[in-house]
Amino acid sequence: MREPDRPRSSPLPGAPSADRSAYLRRLRRDRRLITAGRVLVLLLFALLWEGAAQLGWIDGFIFSSPSRIFTTALELAQSGELWLHVGVTLYETVLGFVIGTALGILAAVWLWWCPRAAKIADPYLVILNSLPKIALGPVIIVWMGTGTAAIVTIAVLVSVVVATTSIATGFFEADPQQLLLLRSLGATKFQQLTMVVLPASVPTMVSALKLSVGMSWVGVIVGEFLISRAGLGYLIVYGGQVFKLDIVMAGVVILCLLSALMYYAVVWFEKKAGRRR
């Protein structure tokens, strides 16, 4: 007598299907390959740079080399000088980034709240965005002095216009049908802002944060070039003045590392915000 067919095992409730599991494995593999590719490109560049300096293809005094940069950074760290400059620059950059982003969000909210004001301000925002902020350096020094306040002000001026225009664009692209529905239900302007506009603009605001990170670093380094007596910008200028280009390159590499860390902090925030959404 033929035995009855046994039912095939079915996945547990809530467990991903085989196709989805394979897709997730491919995604994880792709992420690992991309990370490995980035590390490999960086290592190959460093090895090529070091080899060119050791073989005499490039002048080690002018172009430095990874080994010389590492040795210089280690000496600065052991003397404690490096930590002073890194701390000063980080403090000024984070402060300028936070103030510039906050002002940009507030300005974008005001522009969305008053569409006529947005139309009036549009050409002025374009002009301010294209204006080289370093041209205002001497004026800012006269206004704010030669301390941290002037450097932070330059960083804010560099980042706030970019943040304002980017975030305001996201606000005006909110779904008009949802806003119309809220208005038909008697929602106030503030309720429309908090229930539709702000949640829908989270990706735009995160993109603006990424731009503001780079602009804040630019503003701080420009300010330190002009007036600072401490910070990585000052360290780079000092290295150029005394013809110690290893110090210059060490400062540039450390700036790259710090800006990358700050950028990935924003990326981490983007992932957290995406999960909450």
Q: Quick one: pLDDT at residue 10?
A: 47
Nearest to 76 by CA among 87, 92, 65, 90: 87
Residue 189: both structure tokens together: 């302007």
Nearest to 43 by CA among 66, 60, 70: 66
Nearest to 170 by CA among 209, 141, 143: 209
Q: How far is CA 248 from the centre of its chain?
A: 23
Q: Quick one: pLDDT at residue 274?
A: 65
User: What are the sequence ranges of the domains in the chain?
Assistant: 18-58, 63-276
Q: Flag residues of the chain having pLDDT under 70.
A: 1-16, 273-277
Whether the CB-CB separation of 254 and 233 falls below 8 Å is answered with no
pTM over 0.85: no
pLDDT digits (tens, 9 = 90+) for 127-153: 887 777 777 777 888 787 777 888 888
Q: Quick one: pLDDT at residue 275?
A: 66
CATH of domain 63-276: 1.10.3720.10
